[in-house]
Amino acid sequence: MLAGKGETTGMAHVDWSLEGSAAVLTFGNPPVNSLAHAVRAELVAAIDRAIADRAVRVIVLVGANRTFSAGADIREFGSARMTRSPNLHQLIDAVESSPKPVIAAIDGMCLGGGLELALGCHFRIASPDARLGLPEIKLGLLPGAGGTQRLPRLVGVEAAINVILSGEPVPATAFAKTPLLDALASGELRAAAIELAQKVAAGSTPARRVRDIALPEPDLAALCDFARNAVQAKFPQYPAPVACIDAIEAAGQRFEEGAKVEQRLFLQLLESPQSRALRHAFFAERTASRVPGVTDATPVREIARAAVVGGGTMGSGIAICFLNAGIPLTLLEADEAALARGVERIAGVYDAQVRKGRMQAAERDQRMSLLTPSVSYDTLSMADIAIEAVFEDMEVKKTVFAQLDRVLKPGAILATNTSTLDVNRIATGTRRPQDVVGTHFFSPANLMRLLEVVRGDATAPDVLATVLKLSRTLRKIAVVAGVCDGFIGNRMIEQYLRQALFMLEEGASPQQVDAAAEAFGFAMGPFRMSDLAGNDIGWHIRKRRAAERPAMKYSKLADKLCEMQRFGQKTGAGWYDYAPGDRNARPSGVVAEMIAAHLRELGRATRQLEPAEIADRLVYALVNEGARLLEEGIALRASDIDVVYLNGYGFPVWRGGPMCYADQVGLYEVARRMRQFAGLPGDPQFWTPAPLLQRLAERGDSFASADQSAADRAQSGGRS
Ligand code: NAD
């Protein structure tokens, strides 16, 4: 039962109270009042009761917890609970067909099914700071409970297209002059809604149903054609934008006819691989924060001051993340000259934002004022966390950690931004391995959302909990990984890049490989990506790996490229040529000649590789290594791997990540295709399916079902 001055109704989600002749139904389902089945059922029962009650003349719907509703419970999507009566349509019908007028009193968020419910009401009043929107498109869907039919009737077709296709919440004030809102509440919302109810009860404001309003658009077909052409060109992979426009166009018909079109299109989208992938990605992000050994009760340490050691590419970006979050930060460099360059990098990012009008000069100055440049470790004694971002070299890192261990106060967190190195070895060089953790940011660190959090053998649960909380403060999505060479993301990318190079040795050009990867949907093919990141970074890491794992077979092509000092965009030459100041990659004759000479040396016959084969080999290289990471417990869940690839490596979001994509293809097919690749030159071991992948394929299982079984085991007491 909700708290409030209502009487006891035996309902868990709806509070009933009578204010004069208005029945005020306050519905709640923390945290965002999602319209799950139980809420819908209680709302319909409460409305029926209000209709039957002679003392009631008007009904007011208010969301508890100062928010109306963020919409349907998306955990119900695609399950029987979604359609179970009363479904959202039946609830909205019950509201709209009520003989007593229903008023929606809108506070906070009014999104998706929440807004569709409000559109079914006869009147709407909102707080000025309420936000209204239909975000279904972000999950590859359309608003399927009348949103595409009722919204255009109230705000016009063009505005409805904008709201539905952007999916973004819009401030209530933007609708103040449209029939969508009958009033903006000047004071407290509930009181204003009751005041409106009194006017409605007095009969001074006639009630009307949105479905009965004629669509105010003389050029409906032309407008929709224009919008369809625009979205088809912009989002060729997604069916949802066109379906949204088709549904909006159907609002030109009688409501019942248009609603049928909306429903048919909604169900089609619900089954589409794109929507499945987007829904998977949505849940995967939320699940990633669940980590064994960390609970709501795990204490967290306070992070009031931070330090970053190394002000290069990564250190400067990491520093900006803290400054943006309002956390004072000391930047430590090896010498004054390097320090000045680091501070310059940070200031440069802010200056560019001011120039582009994205930030006020005063805001830049305020953020820069939180930065303390330093070349002395002794200035770090107040830091609650220090993140090391110096060269990727174990000896250099150990020296830095020895210094941090010397100066940091007890309880401070010692973090490393290493991309590949052994966090346990770094930790054992200190007297406090429990306080050491990996925080692997992605470049550019101030923009990329992913943070791989590397849990060392000794990392204390409260250190992990603190870093997970900090990731939210820094507006990052954290994924926890165990210790291994490359953790989740870079260990998989090693296999992907090895495979890309093997394909060059079979006759493909860098352009063909990149084009196939980009046609699959990657933001950038492997060679353009290496040119952007800097080919020398991989070269440096390969040298270490060659010493540590001499059996690993690698094409020599990447090393030969680096021996020519072609490090990528920063040197104007890599796998491609770059004109000064231009990021456009142009095919390089020198590289083509270098590859041709290499092939002559190998003395191997070459062939034409089809784009489908190239894409399969790149993606399945990721999938196979992903399966190994799962089996070794480095990644906790297949969905975590997907979060890493979607947010750190430009994997197409509409494919849901490599593991989700493999599930959609079917693991049996994936393993079969790997065996077909087994005879190819390169590394004969490469295409042996990982044991976990093999087992799942044989059982007809998926990575998703393996994730689910692990979660079930964890819930029933067994630790995953
Ligand atoms: P970088 O060469 O741009 O910067 C390293 C900085 O560390 C330099 O400014 C250098 O002066 C400074 N430094 C070196 N030794 C120092 C010391 N003893 N004390 C203080 N400062 C010192 O390198 P980067 O690309 O920023 O990489 C830093 C770390 O981040 C590496 O471990 C790297 O593997 C990791 N990383 C890099 C990327 C990337 O894309 N560049 C992405 C993720 C992680």
* Residue 190, CA distances (Å) to 16, 117, 395 in order: 13, 18, 64
Give the number of C-alpha atoms closer than 13 A to the C-alpha of residue 51, restricted to the C-beta side: 15
* Residue 112, CA distances (Å) to 80, 142, 294 in order: 19, 9, 33
78 pLDDT higher than 80: no
What pLDDT digit, counting tens, does each position of 584-615 carry? 999 999 999 999 999 999 998 899 999 999 99
Span from the CA of 606 to the centroid of ligand 1 (angstroms): 40
Pairwise pLDDT comparison (359 vs 4), residue with the higher score: 359
Taking CA atoms only, the protein residue closest to ligand 1 atom 40 is 443
Token code pair at residue 358: 């994205």
Instruction: Work out the mean pLDDT of the chain and round it to a whole number.
Output: 95
Span from the CA of 126 to the centroid of ligand 1 (angstroms): 51
Mean pLDDT of 305-322: 98
147 pLDDT higher than 90: yes
Mean pLDDT of 515-525: 97
What pLDDT digit, counting tens, does each position of 82-98 carry? 889 999 999 999 999 99
The predicted pLDDT at position 527 comes to 98
Which of helix, strand or coil describes residue 312?
A: coil
What backbone torsions phi and psi does residue 2 show, to the nearest 5 degrees?
-75, 150
572 pLDDT higher than 90: yes
- N-terminal to C-terminal alpha carbon distance within the chain: 35
The predicted pLDDT at position 717 comes to 65
Percent of the chain topping pLDDT 70: 98
Residue 681 makes CB contacts below 8 A (sequence gap 6+) with: 502, 505, 506, 604
- Tell me the best of 308, 313, 449 to mutate to test the pocket of ligand 1, counting ligand atoms within 8 Å of each CB and taking the most: 313
Cis peptide before 444 (omega within 30 of 0): yes
pLDDT band at 74, cuts 50/70/90? confident
Task: Report which secondary-structure segment, H or E, holds 151.
Answer: helix 147-155
**Among 1, 76, 11, 63, CA closest to 37:** 76
Span from the CA of 393 to the centroid of ligand 1 (angstroms): 9
640 pLDDT higher than 50: yes
Beta-bridge partners for 27 = 14, 63
719 pLDDT higher than 90: no
The predicted pLDDT at position 6 comes to 46
Span from the CA of 315 to the centroid of ligand 1 (angstroms): 7
- Tell me the best of 309, 321, 406, 419 to mutate to test the pocket of ligand 1, counting ligand atoms within 8 Å of each CB and taking the most: 419
Taking CA atoms only, the protein residue closest to ligand 1 atom 17 is 334
Kindly give the number of the ligand 1 atom that is closest to the alpha carbon of 400.
18
Per the annotation, the verdict on 116 as an active-site residue is yes
The predicted pLDDT at position 246 comes to 98
Residues near ligand 1 (Cβ within 6 A): 309-315, 332-334, 338, 389-392, 396, 400, 417-419, 440-443, 533, 537
* Residue 503, CA distances (Å) to 370, 490, 599 in order: 49, 20, 11
Beta-bridge partners for 371 = 329
The predicted pLDDT at position 4 comes to 41
Span from the CA of 408 to the centroid of ligand 1 (angstroms): 20
What pLDDT digit, counting tens, does each position of 154-204 carry? 999 999 999 999 999 999 999 999 999 999 998 999 999 999 999 999 987
7 pLDDT higher than 80: no
Question: Given 42, 76, 96, 136, which residue is catalytic?
Answer: 136
The predicted pLDDT at position 3 comes to 37
Per the annotation, the verdict on 42 as an active-site residue is no
Mean pLDDT of 46-61: 97
Q: What is the rounded CA–CA span in Å between residue 133 and residue 167? A: 6
Residues in the chain: 720
CB 194 within 8 A of CB 24: yes
The predicted pLDDT at position 10 comes to 65
In DSSP notation, 469-534 reads HHHHHTT-EEEEE-SSTTTTHHHHHHHHHHHHHHHHTTT--HHHHHHHHHHHT-SS-HHHHHHHH-
What backbone torsions phi and psi does residue 567 show, to the nearest 5 degrees?
-90, 0
Question: Given 42, 76, 96, 116, which residue is catalytic?
Answer: 116
Percent of the chain topping pLDDT 90: 92
Mean pLDDT of 417-431: 97
